[in-house]
Amino acid sequence: MAAPQSTLLDARAIERTLRRMADEIIELNEGTDDLVIVGIQRRGVQLAARIVSNIFDRETVKVHSGALDITLYRDDLQTVGPRPVVGPTVIPVDVEGKRVVIVDDVLYTGRTIRAALDELADFGRPKRIALAVLVDRGGRELPIQPDVVGKVVAVPNGYRVDVLVRELDERDAVVLAPSGAGS
């Protein structure tokens, strides 16, 4: 049952979008001083790395970057079945007083970001935390909004948004796929 799957962004469109997002992040933080880019496991980490490289192209500054796995902070751990796989968390700098930008692939209910904010707080007290997402698909269940957005997508019922990155999925794409199909 191969239901239709449509491409919302192809590799070149993702590249352009991430360049613009990098520019907006620099603008939002008035430069790169104290900037720390933190990607959420999994695909947020790869997107964060590309934003860091885009910032370097613009400003010739290598900003600090990290990775956050929020599994242990999920609010649904008591209800999900087998324990989800936990990925690495790497916060290479003291975030105290820094300007942290969380990067994720898709913003949906906001629960992942809630967990990420709790986890970051255990590493210190940043001066400011901002949120950058490649796709905002609406459907929030918590009062959380992004500061930098790649693309806003209206998702029909029964569909979901998948972000594919070449490091993990062999190609870069944002696709709209029927939910229930394997990613």
Residues that bind other proteins (CB under 8 A): 69, 72-73, 77-83, 85-90, 118-119, 122-124
The CB-of-85 to other proteins minimum distance in angstroms stands at: 7
Longest dimension (CA), the chain: 52
d(CA 104, CA 148): 11
Q: Residue 122 or residue 170: which is nearer to other proteins going by CB? A: 122
Q: What is the 3-state secondary structure (H, E, C) of 58-95?
A: HHCCCCEEEEECCHHHCCCCCCCCCCCCCCCCECCCCC
Q: Residue 124 or residue 155: which is nearer to other proteins going by CB? A: 124
The CB-of-74 to other proteins minimum distance in angstroms stands at: 8
Q: Residue 110 or residue 124: which is nearer to other proteins going by CB? A: 124
Joined together, the tokens standing for residue 70 give 């929020």
The CB-of-122 to other proteins minimum distance in angstroms stands at: 4
Q: Residue 114 or residue 137: which is nearer to other proteins going by CB? A: 114
- 161: three-class secondary structure by DSSP: strand
Q: Residue 50 or residue 98: which is nearer to other proteins going by CB? A: 98
Q: Residue 6 or residue 79: which is nearer to other proteins going by CB? A: 79
The answer to whether the Cα torsion of 89, 28, 141, 50 is positive or negative is: negative
Given a contact cutoff of 8 angstroms between Cβ atoms, the answer to whether 141 and 172 are in contact is: no
d(CA 170, CA 130): 29
d(CA 129, CA 134): 17
The CB-of-163 to other proteins minimum distance in angstroms stands at: 21
The CB-of-88 to other proteins minimum distance in angstroms stands at: 5
The CB-of-121 to other proteins minimum distance in angstroms stands at: 8
Given a contact cutoff of 8 angstroms between Cβ atoms, the answer to whether 95 and 126 are in contact is: yes
Joined together, the tokens standing for residue 10 give 């192809």
